């Protein structure tokens, strides 16, 4: 089936009791059993819930995997992944990883005896150089936030296979519409469904998708044993949203392309980061492993004052954290989303005080460009 047919139908059957075309919100904690040990596959909603099952199946199909395992947030999905590891194990991780992921690894899991090396995974030599005897996992984000640097999925999958490691890709920025890491041989995909998959800025959620049965069994065990599961109403909302994922992603990308091209021409903008620009250092890799370039655009205005003037002068772009919703957002990473990254670290990958990140929404293109033009006038 094509992506849009799967998005609308995968995992969903008319409700057996009423014929309701939409999977109901099964707002229940427990299920009545017919007799001792005899039930319909559902015993307790931490373990399994029909609305959640429909969502898990739906996103698994969109990501070309066999198993979807949903969580209450992207970070709780990542935390479940850490449950695959044991004290003394080592993880190689993208240096410019999502701030909350870095904080979880650095502030929590190091206390449990896990070791992490944060390296520039866009350079596979750096991944190889970081491997140790106790390395068990490679955790990659591509493209990264907010620098939009890519890592080769084929190379990471190759290194992981060669050394018997679990490869994980955070695919939140591209969504399954533009990129499917499992088809490149990556073992596990993680999404913050809070972002593009839900796309309407009204829930927080996460999901893991994979095909390997043994790993999936371990993760289902962790999902139930740790218990950070999403509620049925949140699952319903994400399931409602994936139906329009393709339409939304196409609009996000069309607008982001226009915004990136506009910014590139402005004499006030020093540098634009967008994988769709032919000048992006990994434009060729982007064309090879992604089916589009997404809706995130970052750009450099040179100083904090100039970035502040821009961020406070836009009217349609709302000054807020998060991304991937239908509405456009503007973020100042150094002060907002990436404040927890030490300045020395962030300057290494170009996250300066003059950097602005846009989550380009699906409003009318002309209105967004006009808003940017007006805000740039305030940049002296």
Find the binding residues for ligand PLP in span 137-196 (CB under 6 A): 141, 145, 170, 172-173, 192, 194-195
Catalytic residue among 46, 103, 287, 291: 46
Closest Cα to residue 50, out of 78, 12, 18, 102? 12
Q: Which is nearer to ligand PLP, 120 or 371 (CB)?
A: 120
Residue choice 11, 50, 74, 230 for contact with ligand PLP (CB under 6 A): 74
Least separation in angstroms between CB 255 and ligand PLP: 19
Contact between 236 and ligand PLP per CB under 6 A: no
Least separation in angstroms between CB 105 and ligand PLP: 12
Catalytic residue among 26, 98, 262, 274: 98
Q: Which is nearer to ligand PLP, 50 or 99 (CB)?
A: 99
Q: Which is nearer to ligand PLP, 74 or 354 (CB)?
A: 74
Q: Which is nearer to ligand PLP, 172 or 255 (CB)?
A: 172
Total residues at interface with ligand PLP (CB under 6 A): 16
Q: Which stretch binds ligand PLP (CB under 6 A): 6-14, 93-101, 108-116, 364-372?
A: 93-101
d(CA 234, CA 76): 15
98 is an active site residue: yes
State the CB neighbour count (10 A cutoff) for residue 74: 23
> Do 300 and 355 meet the contact criterion of CB atoms below 8 Å apart?
yes
Least separation in angstroms between CB 170 and ligand PLP: 5
Closest Cα to residue 175, out of 246, 275, 121? 246
Q: Which single residue brings its beta carbon nearest to ligand PLP? A: 74
Least separation in angstroms between CB 140 and ligand PLP: 11
Letter string b/e over residues 267-293, b meaning 16 or more CB atoms within 10 A of that residue's CB: ebbebbbbbbbeebebbebbeebbebb
CA end-to-end span of the chain: 52
Q: Which residues are at the interface with ligand PLP (CB under 6 A)?
A: 73-75, 98, 100-101, 141, 145, 170, 172-173, 192, 194-195, 204, 206
Q: Which residues are catalytic?
A: 46, 98, 170, 195
């Amino acid at each position: 089936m094509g992506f849009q047919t799967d998005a609308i139908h995968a995992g969903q059957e008319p409700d057996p009791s009423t014929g309701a075309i939409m999977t109901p919100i099964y707002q229940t904690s427990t299920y009545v059993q017919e007799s001792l040990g005899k039930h319909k596959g559902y015993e307790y909603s931490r373990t399994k819930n029909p609305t959640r099952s429909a969502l898990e199946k739906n996103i698994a199909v969109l990501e070309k995997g066999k198993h979807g395992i949903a969580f209450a947030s992207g970070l709780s999905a990542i935390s479940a992944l850490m449950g695959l590891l044991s004290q003394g194990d080592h993880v190689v991780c993208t240096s410019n990883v999502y701030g909350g992921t870095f904080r979880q690894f650095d502030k929590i899991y190091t206390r449990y005896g896990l070791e992490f090396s944060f390296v520039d995974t866009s350079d596979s030599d750096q991944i190889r150089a970081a491997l140790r005897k106790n390395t068990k996992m490679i955790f990659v984000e591509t493209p990264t936030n907010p620098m939009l640097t890519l890592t080769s999925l084929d190379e990471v999958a190759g290194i992981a296979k060669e050394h018997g490691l679990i490869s994980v890709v955070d695919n939140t920025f591209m969504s399954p519409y533009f990129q499917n890491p499992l088809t490149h041989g990556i073992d596990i995909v993680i999404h913050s469904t809070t972002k593009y998959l839900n796309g309407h800025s009204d829930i927080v959620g996460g999901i893991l998708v994979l095909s390997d049965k043994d790993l999936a069994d371990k993760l289902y065990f962790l999902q139930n044993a740790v218990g950070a599961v999403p509620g049925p109403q949140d699952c319903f909302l994400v399931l409602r949203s994936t139906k329009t994922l393709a339409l939304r992603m196409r609009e996000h990308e069309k607008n982001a392309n226009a915004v990136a091209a506009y910014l590139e021409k402005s004499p006030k903008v020093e540098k634009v980061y967008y994988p769709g620009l032919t000048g992006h250092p990994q434009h060729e890799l982007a064309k090879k492993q992604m089916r589009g370039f997404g809706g995130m655009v970052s750009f450099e205005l040179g100083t904090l004052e100039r970035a502040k003037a821009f961020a406070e002068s836009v009217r349609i772009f709302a000054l807020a954290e998060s991304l991937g919703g239908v509405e456009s957002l503007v973020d100042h990473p150094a002060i907002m989303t990436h404040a927890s990254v030490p300045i020395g670290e962030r300057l290494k990958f170009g996250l300066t005080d003059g950097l602005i990140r846009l989550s380009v929404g699906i409003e009318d293109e002309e209105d967004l460009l006009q808003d940017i033009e007006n805000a740039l006038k305030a940049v002296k």
